[in-house]
Amino acid sequence: MAPTESPPLPPIAGEEGLGGVGGLTTPVRLYLAVAQRSFRRHLAYRAATLAGLFTNAVFGVLIASVFTALYRSRATEGGGERIAGFDVAEMLVFVWVGQSLIMVLHLWGWWDVAQAVRSGDIVSDLMKPFDFYAYWLSRDLGRAACHVLVRFVPTMALGMLLTDLALPRSPLRWVAFAVSVLLGLLVAFAFRFMVNVSAFWLLDVRGVGYLAYSAVNFLSGFLIPLTFFPPWLRGIAEALPFRAMVMLPAEILLAKRPVAAALGVQLLWAVALTLLARAVLNRAIRKLTVQGG
């Protein structure tokens, strides 16, 4: 249901990302500079962006068509207008939100940290006077901000152009949605980071990674809303953090859930996964110092 490989971006060398900002004293300004740099760099990949938008458009229309057919088939079988709690218009929103969020959350194929581990660059990165996790998170936030601009917004516009997508108008809901996406991104980043850091222990991080990303596709609600799941599977999915990435933001936008509760769940997962990811990183560093890599 999704392009299996997102456009690869050229790897970004560690020092390149920091050149010229090393002299800054306050860490916040450092991370801000890192994020800005990352934002600008991703803004420059214009050909990849256009190609990605085209792919989003094809897949968006494709998936939207399948769901529309599902509603039509349901009608001929005499069923109700709602399927799994969504009517067809809401389902279109759901489909296009998913397509638009792919690159913002970077749901597939992010291996930057794993590459740094493989190449050994991580050793010098770890010795630099900044927080390794915060550094990569800043980069990812910068990247995501850029992708909101060049991927999220245009993909939504394409959805309106190519299908009967009608977006909610309430500005408050969009604000809540934005906060929710940000929290979802924190969860997504922590998860991706852990997958990458597993390169310290695993010979083939990609094998595990694909399996992990595949699980995310399914359990986040990206492929299909979790409300389609049978109760037992839904119970599992709702106990896991992945729904914080797509399902909860989409439900907030569609006013399917009390906003505060949903954001609370996301915040909890964001904090928990961030702490977990940092703990995993610390274990990895200890392994590095004990065994020398």
Partner 1 sequence: MGSGDGGEPMVVARGLGKTYRVATHRGGALGALRGLVDRSGRDVRAVDGVSFTVDRGEMVGYVGPNGAGKSTTIKMLTGILVPSDGEATVDGLVPWRQRKALAARIGVVFGQRSQLWWDLALVESLDLLRHVYRVPKDRFAINLAGLRDLLDLDPFLATPVRQLSLGQRMRGDLAAALLHDPAILYLDEPTIGLDVVAKARVREMLARLNRERGVTVLLTTHDLADVEHLCRRMIVIDRGRLLFDGAIDELRRRFGPHRTLVIDLEDGDPAPAAGPFCPGVDWVRADGPRRWLRFDRDAVPAADLIAAVAARHRVRDLTIEEPAIEDIVRRIYTEGMGTP
Partner 2 sequence: MTRETALWRRLIGARARGQVAYPVSFLLQLFSTSLLFFVELAVVALMFRQVDRLGGWRLAEVAFLYGLSAVAIGVALCLGSGLVAFPDQIRQGGFDQVLTRPASAFVQVLAADLRLDRLGRVLNGLIVFGYALVVLDVEWTAGRLLYLPVVVVSAAVVFGALFVLEATLCFWTTQGLEVVNAFTFGGATLSQYPLHLFDGWLRRLFLFAIPVGLVIYAPSLYLLDKHDPLGLPGWLRFTAPLVSALFAAVAGSLWRVGVRHYRSTGS
Sites of contact with partner 2 (CB under 8 A)? 1-5, 7, 47-48, 50-52, 54-55, 57-59, 61-62, 65-66, 69-70, 72-74, 77, 79, 83-84, 207, 210-211, 214-215, 217-218, 223-224, 228-230
Residues 44-63 that bind partner 1 (CB under 8 A): 46-51
Burial 44-65 (b: 16+ CB within 10 A, else e): ebeebbeebbebbbebbbebbe
The residue (of 155 and 198) whose beta carbon lies closer to partner 1 is: 155
- Work out how close the CB of 7 gets to partner 1 at its nearest, in angstroms, rounded to a whole number: 12
Residue 152 three-state SS = helix
Closest approach, Cβ 47 to partner 1, in A, equals 4
Q: C-beta of 9: minimal distance to partner 1 in Å?
A: 14
Helix axes of 112-119 and 171-197: crossing angle, nearest 10 degrees: 20
Instruction: Annotate each residue in 190-219 with x if it binds partner 1 (CB under 8 A) or - if it does not, as one string.
Output: ------------------------------
126 binds, among partner 2, partner 1, none (CB under 5 to 8 A by kind): none
Whose CA is closest to 143, among 45, 235, 14, 263? 45
CB 133 within 8 A of CB 31: no
How far is the C-alpha of 186 from the C-alpha of 116, rounded, in Å?
21
Select from partner 1, partner 2, none the partner in contact with residue 66, using the beta carbon and a kind-dependent cut-off of 5 to 8 Å: partner 2
* 19 backbone dihedrals φ, ψ, rounded to 5°: -50, 130
Report the 3 state secondary structure along 72-120.
HHHHHCCCCCCECCECHHHHHHHHHHHHHHHHHHCCCCCCHHHHHHHHC
Q: How far is the CB of 48 from partner 1 (least distance, A)?
A: 8
Q: Enumerate residues 8-47 that contact partner 1 by CB under 8 A.
A: 46-47
- Report in angstroms how near the CB of residue 116 gets to partner 1 at its nearest: 21
Q: Are 197 and 277 in contact (CB under 8 A)?
A: yes
Q: 77 or 204, CB closer to partner 1? A: 204
The DSSP 8-state label assigned to residue 199 in this structure reads G
Q: Which does 161 bind (CB under 5 to 8 A by kind): partner 2, partner 1, none?
A: none
- Residue 50 CB, shortest distance to partner 1, in Å, is 5
- Contact by Cβ (8 Å): 148, 49: no
Residue 49 or 100: which CB sits closer to partner 1?
Answer: 49
Which of the listed partners (partner 1, partner 2, none) does 123 bind, with a CB threshold of 5 to 8 Å by partner kind?
none
Pair of tokens at residue 44: 């420059």
Task: Identify any residues that bridge with 83 across adjacent strands, giving them in sequence order.
Answer: 86
The entry of partner 2, partner 1, none that residue 168 binds, CB within 5 to 8 Å by partner kind: none
Interface with partner 1 by CB under 8 A: which residues? 46-51
